[in-house]
Amino acid sequence: MLLLAFRRVKVDLEAIRDPVLRERHGPAPRFLILDPRGRVIGDVSGKRATSLSAFCRLCHKVWGTLFTIKCKAYARKMQGSFEREDLIQSREMLIRHKRERLAKIESPEERARKAAALDEAAAETARMRDEMETKRRKILARCVLRPECRAPPRKKDK
| Residue 46 included in any domain | yes
Secondary structure element (H or E) that encloses residue 85, with its range: helix 71-102
Q: How many folded domains does the chain comprise?
A: 2
| Residue 156 included in any domain | no
Instruction: From 42, 66, 90, give the residue that closes a domain.
Output: 66
Asked whether residue 62 falls in the same domain as residue 91, the answer is no
Residue 58 lies in domain: 2-66
pLDDT range class, residue 65, cuts 50, 70, 90? confident
Please tell me the predicted confidence (pLDDT) of residue 95.
Answer: 95
The one-letter code for the residue type at 58 is L
Helix then strand then coil, % of the chain, to nearest 5: 65, 10, 25
CB 118 within 8 A of CB 101: no
Residue 94: is its pLDDT beyond 70?
A: yes
Average pLDDT, the chain: 84
Secondary structure element (H or E) that encloses residue 136, with its range: helix 108-141
More confident position, 14 or 123 = 123
Residue 55 burial class via C-beta count within 10 angstroms: exposed 0-12, middle 13-18, buried 19 and up: middle
Please tell me the predicted confidence (pLDDT) of residue 11.
Answer: 67
Report the percentage of the chain scoring pLDDT > 90: 28
Asked whether residue 76 falls in the same domain as residue 111, the answer is yes
Asked whether residue 61 falls in the same domain as residue 83, the answer is no
